[in-house]
Each structure stands twice: as structure tokens, then as C-alpha cells.
Amino acid sequence: MPKCSIETMNSRKEELVDACEKLYQTKTFGEITLKEIGDAAEFTRTAIYSYFQTKEEIFLALLQREYSKWIAELVEIEKSKVKFTAPKLAVMLARSLQNRVQLLKLLSMNLYAIEENSRDANLIEFKKVYKASVDAVDRCFRKLRPKAAPAESYNFTYQFFPFIYGIYPYVFPSDKQIRAMKTAGMKLKKRTVYQLAYPAILKMLR
């Protein structure tokens, strides 16, 4: 591959991530192939390999981008001038999740496969961003409870993150799942991400 600037390389990577994101809006993770992503971004297979080795690495980059966007929102929450109360923080965290449906979808549907099929260097870079999100949530909690013991902060953080991994399928069941639940006699109540997240986060904070 001809030598190019870091900016050009990053721009080319973003083109592939953008193509992947667009395909993921209408197809499942399993349906999307590396070739399809390349075709959508007008990349040859050889050109793709200059940046990513597997489709999972492209999805990992998409997930990393989603985490970065969420971290920016968490930092804004942390810097907020409003007086923090448990209900207020629960509202702000729930709203931040409402804005990150793509993140929730990736976490609940495909995280294990994405991580298992990505090279160590890519996974390490992703985990740095993930850690930054954990730290950002922890800082928000500590702004609410500055005198909290480390164990209290830890317990909130590690209730909160496993919880968010399960939000997406409850809010966005597939048509097939809806039919199956109705046939099984289950009552369906439509909820938004916010409606599901707010009471759960408030309970964690209390």
C-alpha cells in the first residue's frame, strides 16, 4: 500500500466503519459480510486488509466510536452545574443511553463474537475506550456521592454496565420474537430505552 498520512488512513477506516454502520441498520451481524462492507465503501478486498483483517474488527471500530460518543455525553453530565440527586442523575444517565441505541444493539447482540475475532492490538485499543466509559460513569456517581466508599462506587458501576448490555432486546424485539411471545401468552408492553433504564438506574443509585 502506498504510504499515506495518519489523517488519510483514519479517514479511510472511517469510510469502512460508516459503510458497516449503514448495513447494520437493515441487516443482522450474521448477514453482513466483509465483501459487502467493502462494496458499500468501494474498497477492494486487498484494500480492506490494509486496515482491517475481519468484519469483526470493523464492528469493533464501530463499537469503539459509539463508546467515544457516549463518553462525551457522560463528561457533559459530570460537568453539569445542576445539583445532583439520585433521580436527576438517573434521568441524565437514562437519556444518555436513549441517545446510544446503536451502542446498546452492538453490546447485546454481537459483543462476544466481535471481540473473539479481532486482533489483540485492536481489542486493547477498544478496551481503553471501554475503560474510559467505566471511569466516566464512576465520576458521575462520585459527583452524586463524593464520600462514598470505593466498594459502593464499584458496586454501582458493575450493576450498571451488565444492565445496559441487556436493554436492546427488551426495547426492540424482532417481529419473530413478538409473534412467539404472543403465541406463548406473554403480555407485551412497549417501552423506550429511557422508560426501561430510568427506574432501574434510580434503584441502583438508592
pTM of the model: 0.93
Sign of the C-alpha dihedral computed for residues 23, 191, 104 and 65 taken in this order: positive
Closest residue by Cα to residue 93 from 107, 104, 77: 77
Answer yes or no: do 111 and 200 share one domain.
yes
Answer yes or no: do 174 and 200 share one domain.
yes
Give the pLDDT band of residue 1 (cuts 50, 70, 90).
very low
Answer yes or no: do 160 and 127 share one domain.
yes
Which residue range forms the structural domain that includes residue 183?
Answer: 56-205
Closest residue by Cα to residue 98 from 75, 69, 140: 69
Answer yes or no: do 94 and 178 share one domain.
yes
Closest residue by Cα to residue 4 from 12, 62, 57, 37: 12
Count of structural domains within the chain: 2
Q: Are 153 and 141 spatial neighbours (Cβ–Cβ below 8 Å)? A: yes
Answer yes or no: do 14 and 85 share one domain.
no
Q: Nearest 5°: CA angle at 177, between 179 and 61?
A: 150
Answer yes or no: do 145 and 103 share one domain.
yes
Does the pLDDT at position 29 exceed 70? yes
Answer yes or no: do 82 and 43 share one domain.
no
pLDDT in tens, 137-182: 999 999 999 999 999 999 999 999 999 999 999 999 999 999 999 9
